[in-house]
Amino acid sequence: MTTTTSPVTDVVADGTTATRATRARARVPWRFIGRRVAFYLFTLWAAITINFFVPRLMKGDAVDNYLARNRGISPEAADALRALLGLDSDRTLLQQYGDYLGMLARGDLGVALTHGLQPVGQVIAGALPWTVGLIGLATVLSFLIGTVGGAVVGWRRGSRLDALIPVTTFLSTVPYFWIGLMAISVFAVTLGWFPIGKAYGIGTTPGLSLEFAGEVIRHGALPLATIVVASLGGWMLGMRNMMLTVLDEDYITVAQAKGLPNRRVLWRYAARNAVLPQIQSFALSIGFIVGGAIIVEQVFSYPGVGKMLLDATNAKDYALMQGGFLVIVLAVLIANILADVAYAVLDPRTRQSEA
Amino acid sequence: MNEPLLSVRDFSVRYETAAPVDAVRDVSLTVHRGEVLGLAGESGCGKTTLAYGVQRLLKPPAVIPGGSVTWHDADGTDVDLLALSADALRAFRWDKISMVFQGAMSALNPVATVGAQLADVFEVHRPGMSRAERTAAVVELLEIVKVGAARIKSYPHELSGGMRQRIMIAMALALRPQLVVMDEPTTALDVLVQREILREITGLREAFGFSVVFITHDLPLLLEISDRIAIMRAGRIVEIDTAPNIWFRPQHEYTRTLLSSFPRLTAERQVTR
Amino acid sequence: MTSIDVQGVSKTYRVRGAGAINALEDVSFTLSSGQTIGMVGQSGSGKSTVAKILTQMERPTSGQVLLDGRPVPTRGAALRAYRQRLRMVFQDPFSSLNPYHSIRHHIERPLVLSGVVPADEVDAEVHRLLDKVQLDAGAVVDRRPHELSGGQRQRVAIARALAPRPALLVADEPVSMLDVSLRMGVLSLLSDIQAQDGLGVLYITHDLATARYFSDEIIVLNQGRVVEHGSADDVILRPQHPYTRELREASPDPERFFVDSAGGAR
């Protein structure tokens, strides 16, 4: 059964006389912002708490694992290690939780057993730039190319450009590791255009030199291209479909009746509205950068967070895993905040949607 | 009053779908300079398709298999609308014929301010205008339709239905066109707001002297505001005559059916209960 | 003889950021079987809120609604029984019918739920109801809503409303989404059924002309208040309240228009 629209919203939304609607601009939506901030803080707290408990629910701790791999460590040394990792069994779970929060607050993520007891923060800091640089750039490029391409394909619906859609969609359904391995076999092994893996050549010393920058670009090009090729389809299809919906809107016909040039109608009227749902997907995909990095970095032996996380998991290096997980959570949250901001800038309707 | 402004001859529109639909069939119609021509008919009768079709605003699968549309400009030249190049057509649109659309909400771009949407008409059609001149022109338009310059930076969702429709009228007047096509401009509005908008249109017509093609299914409304009325059914114009003749001496059966669809507000009741 | 009494009903909605909105303020009227009351007003005047309160989809903030002198039930089996005494016809014939069910299902369900006819007579009753709304029962009974025109769908909606043999009917803008040439047909049908069955009908509309044409009494609502209530002809031909006059002046009326313009008073 249906109900008719409430008369109350009629009063607010439609008004009945031209003088009644009030000017609603330049008002900061504090309530909206406050709710979002509270939401993010809660999510962060929940993630940190889960992050604390999960390793403790697993069987056998990291030190047992470490002992199994490194013979000849005395029981005293093992206890000292436990204390260092915050796993000493004479403290209650609640106390451990307090210690953990305290450490986090000081930016201390513990030490990584698999990296010679280096602080976890340092290990992550070493890996993160590679991931953000490679996969972040690839995601942004893929989003931009896919969205612009999808806008054009949607605008010229029925033309030969439509053939692009099945092709890109097919590429995005092929498992990524397969595309990656094929690209390596064709362009790196057979043709020898690109190096096979790693972020830079073995003989190169990292530094702010032209030579090093060239190495990084040469090594990054192939993984970057494969990621763009594999993820383009989603953006393109999403944008094209949204364009088709928007093109049926009256304001498009109005824009054409106004005699506006096609370019203006396409970008300022159609694409400008069609891109809004894309922004939200984009925020989500930024959050998945670190997670998605695992396969890419494995295939290309790229020294980023994904490979680090995989190695840490295989070695049951809990401190490092927790640190990695925290980075993922922070990435997702930051991406969502950015998407909120972008959405508020791009869609005036959200700016006052507090009621 | 009998000087022609727009002549439509044997005009047809067909939707080339799996089962082709002839939405408009051999319509001939002349809009005279200075008149209000009402176009009445029910949904699906082809009235909107006709109005969009003569301005070549229809999208595929619509095709125009035949007919001619001639514009008799105030400067004395005749323009064959169906033969205009794409660029010439763009320049013609809005400058000579503008439109007021039905859904005032969906007719405005939700992510642009009303000021920007009014200004882009000038940007495109009057490239010589400076930014300050454009703003001044937009302010003037908002004042003319009594929305007020303060709304220049408002977004469509911040305005009431009546105000949005006023913005659409302001937009239609921007270039001082000779003809304004109004497609159900008041249908979604309350009766009081509708009357307000109609008064506004009448006042503006006196000030600017444009002709109007007014499309609606609301025949009683049309009878009050039109000089002549064309009754459309199934893609054809079944009757076209002056408003008093349509009211007092309807010739076509369908015209009588339409008239009887609206009970008289203040007359003696035809049926006693 | 059934009658429903709306006594001093107010309804206040709390809207965050906008404070309280009075959708209805101290509304009173009585609708009895055998009469049609037209309720007119602009959107936002509270017309639909009256419908929601009558069908108990909303509860009044203050005041009460009595059915034959007793407060209408608010929950449980008693409420379901009440809703079979007072039925509703909605504005939108496209969304008020379930696209996945046949016409038969739409009418059978209220018949079975209310138990007004024995199980072996349900099929005959479905046909009788479709006949009653002037649909070709044999042709439409196994179709789905999307196969019917808007006018046919609204007739199905009326048949569904009539199925449990209600005493009262609330029709909320029942024809405003139909093509104009179909409207009078549907309204005449409603009016005929009202007369035959002695129904009490509340006809909610924004259209003064059909309200006058099909109602015995008219209630004019403005911003949640009853500003005028009287016989249909009195309210339309001799309006007392300025708001009613304003509404009347704003409504298209070729009759008066051509008389006035013939007299040169345009």
> Which single residue is written with the structure tokens 């339709």?
B145
Same domain, A103 and A168: no
Q: At what angle do helices B161-173 and B131-144 cross, to 10 degrees?
A: 130
Instruction: State which residue of chain C sits closest to A31, comparing Cα positions.
Output: C17
Range of the domain at A83: 29-115
Cβ contact, residue pair A259, B91, below 8 Å = yes
CA distance to partner chain A, nearest, from residue B81 (Å): 14
Mean pLDDT of A224-251: 89
Q: In the prediction, which pLDDT does B80 show?
A: 92
Sheet holding C62-67, edge to edge: C19-32, C3-15, C62-67, C70-71
Query: What interhelical angle do A120-131 and A318-346 show, nearest 10?
Result: 50
Q: Any chain C CB within 8 A of the CB of A6?
A: yes
Asked if residue A294 belongs to a domain, the reply is yes
Among the ranges given (A1-10, A229-238, B65-74), the one the predictor scored with the smallest mean pLDDT: A1-10
Q: Which of A62, A96, A115 is the last residue of a domain?
A: A115
pLDDT at res. C18 = 62
Last residue of a domain, one of A64, A90, A115: A115
Tokens encoding C82: 């009440």
Whether residue A291 is found in the same domain as residue A176 = yes
> Domain B4-96+177-260's class?
alpha beta
The mean pLDDT value for C20-47 works out to 90
**Which of C224, C223, C211, C204 is closest to C251 using CA atoms?**
C211
Chain B: partners with 3+ C-beta pairs within 8 Å: A, C
Does residue A209 belong to the interface with chain C, where contact is any CB pair within 8 Å?
Answer: no
Torsion sign (Cα): B257, C155, C211, B219: negative
pLDDT value, residue A1: 37
Could you tell me the residue ranges of all domains in chain B? 4-96+177-260, 107-176
Tell me how close the Cα of C214 comes to any Cα of chain A, in angstroms. Answer: 22
Q: How confident is the model at residue B226, as a pLDDT?
A: 93
Q: Where are the domains of chain C?
A: 3-261
Lowest mean pLDDT among A85-99, A167-181, B249-263, C239-253: A85-99
Q: What is the ipTM of this complex?
A: 0.84
Mutation target vs B (from A156, A250, A265; most B CBs, 10 A cutoff): A250
Interchain CB distance below 8 Å, A25 and B153: yes
Q: Spell out the residues 6+ positions from residue C244 whose beta carbon is closer than 8 angstroms to its own.
A: C220, C227, C228, C235
Q: Are residues A194 and A53 in the same domain?
A: no
A157 lies in some domain: yes
Q: What CATH number belongs to C3-261?
A: 3.40.50.300
CB contact under 8 A, A158 and B60: yes
Percent of chain A predicted with pLDDT > 90: 10
> How do strand B97-100 and strand B179-183 relate by DSSP bridges?
parallel
Q: What is the mean pLDDT of residues B81-106?
A: 87
Please state the domain count of chain A.
Answer: 2
In a domain, A21, yes or no: no
Please name the residues between 175 and 214 in chain C that touch chain A, using a CB distance below 8 Å.
none
Contact A18 B101 (CB under 8 A): no
pLDDT in tens, C184-208: 888 999 999 999 999 999 999 988 9
Determine whether the interchain pair C209/B192 forms a contact, defined as Cβ–Cβ distance below 8 Å. no
Question: Any CB–CB contact under 8 A between C263 and chain B?
Answer: no
Asked if C79 and C73 count as a contact pair (C-beta separation under 8 A), the reply is: yes
Whether C181 and chain B come into contact, CB under 8 Å, resolves to yes
pLDDT, mean of residues A121-131: 85
Give per-residue pLDDT as tens, A289-341.
766 778 888 888 888 888 888 888 887 777 788 888 888 888 888 888 887 88
Q: How far apart are CA C190 and CA C134, in angstroms?
A: 11
In angstroms, rounded to a whole number, what is the distance separating the alpha carbons of residues C236 and C7? 25
Interface mutation vs chain A, best among B160, B184, B192, B215, most A CBs within 10 Å: B160
A14 falls within a domain: no
Last residue of a domain, one of A65, A89, A115: A115
Confidence at residue A89, expressed as pLDDT on a 0 to 100 scale:
63
Q: Alpha-carbon distance A24 to A132, whole Å? A: 40
Q: A21 pLDDT band (50/70/90 cuts)? A: very low
Q: What sign does the CA torsion over C146, C149, C154, C156 have?
A: negative
